[in-house]
């Protein structure tokens, strides 16, 4: 059996989709389904069972026998960067991850977990998997950073695979439930569908209008990295998971506009809105994953460009099912 926590989320559901393409359906989904719309991410997938995240934790701590567990993909977490209840965040993200880590070691299961590129903060020293580059600036980032530190502290003591992925800006199918936290391609598409215009931030930090740059990684590429490490249980470590390529938000907007012009004969426009005052000084105007460690580990898969990934995403997003556009 394979367990996917956060299995109804963006990355988790795409990992399940790729497992299904291999014929793997003996999957336990663990999630928090208070937002029932997340079920749409699972409705076309094949899994064996579902457990609420707290019930799953309770059963582990009670010594429940889940049978033979091959791997745990741990994506479940509170990812809200504006949540400042530190006690809640550390219990939900940090302590939960520790329990799963030690449980996987005890039962001999592979453990592949979600870290975050947010651990780099404003990235004054770059984006390498190195303590000198890490300076989290919110509780979510701190919880991910501290768990990475905990894993590092166990170096030489872990007998079974442990892999952490520092995700950069992931976008793609099965993210509508994230609502305001959904990706810019998702929001730009909805804006064009509604009013034939997509809106970007004006310039800041020395960048021109819409020229702030991020490392955008298509979710299917991110899931493929997870499955490569699943196939290579001898590989452990903490790795950046991005495309290794920074592109401006303007590229994303132009790709969405181009798709609608080609497929819907819609001539949409791009507008710039004043940069929010409350984000000044705490906004990442530039991110680009250093993926040299990922390549050194042996992963040689390709990552789609923004133009390629956005086109593929919008083909899926605008395929006729209105629930794909709803939060």
Rounded to the nearest 10 degrees, the angle between the axes of helix 139-153 and helix 96-107 is 30
Looking at the chain, list the stretches that DSSP marks H as alpha helix, in order from N- to C-terminal side. 10-21, 53-61, 86-89, 96-107, 139-153, 184-195, 219-231, 249-264, 292-297, 306-317
- State how far the Cα of 96 lies from the Cα of 89, in Å rounded to an integer: 10
Positions marked active-site = 140, 178
DSSP state of 68: -
- What CA–CA distances, in Å, run from 111 to 90, 156, 182? 19, 16, 26
Contact indicator for 323, 174 with CB cutoff of 8 Å: no
Structure tokens at 104: 């996987």
Q: How many residues does the chain have?
A: 327
Q: Rounded CA gap, 150 and 218, in Å?
A: 29
Q: Which residues in 273-286 are b (16+ Cβ under 10 Å) and which e? A: eebeeeeeeeebbb
Cα separation, 90 vs 81, in Å, equals 13
Token digits of residue 257 = 């506009």
**Bridge partners of 71?**
2, 110
């Amino acid at each position: 059996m394979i367990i996917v926590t956060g299995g109804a989320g963006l990355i988790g559901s795409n990992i399940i989709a790729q497992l299904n393409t291999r014929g793997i359906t003996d999957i336990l989904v663990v999630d928090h389904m208070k937002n029932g719309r997340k079920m749409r991410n699972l409705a076309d997938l094949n899994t064996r069972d579902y457990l609420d995240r707290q019930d799953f934790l309770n059963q582990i701590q009670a010594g429940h026998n889940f049978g033979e567990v091959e791997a745990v993909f741990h994506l479940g977490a509170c990812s809200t960067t504006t949540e400042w209840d530190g006690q809640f965040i550390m219990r939900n993200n940090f302590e939960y991850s520790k329990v799963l880590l030690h449980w996987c070691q005890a039962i001999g299961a592979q453990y592949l977990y979600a870290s975050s590129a947010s651990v780099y903060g404003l990235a004054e020293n770059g984006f390498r998997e190195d303590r000198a580059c890490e300076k989290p600036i919110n509780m979510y980032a701190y919880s991910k950073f501290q768990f990475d530190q905990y894993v590092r502290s166990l170096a030489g003591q872990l007998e079974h695979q442990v892999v952490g992925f520092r995700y950069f800006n992931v976008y793609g199918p099965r993210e509508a439930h994230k609502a305001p936290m959904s990706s810019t391609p998702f929001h730009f598409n909805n804006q064009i569908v509604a009013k034939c215009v997509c809106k970007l931030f004006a310039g800041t930090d020395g960048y021109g209008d819409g020229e702030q740059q991020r490392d955008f990684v298509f979710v299917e590429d991110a899931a493929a990295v997870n499955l490569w490490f699943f196939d290579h249980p001898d590989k452990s470590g903490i790795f950046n998971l991005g495309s290794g390529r920074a592109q401006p938000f303007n590229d994303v907007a132009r790709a969405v506009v181009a798709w609608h012009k080609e497929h819907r004969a819609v001539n949409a426009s791009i507008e710039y809105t004043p940069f929010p005052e409350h984000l000044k000084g705490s906004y990442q105007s530039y991110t680009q994953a250093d993926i040299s460690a990922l390549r050194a580990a042996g992963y040689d898969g390709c990552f789609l460009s923004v133009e390629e990934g956005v086109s593929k995403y919008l083909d899926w997003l605008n395929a006729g099912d209105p629930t794909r556009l709803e939060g």
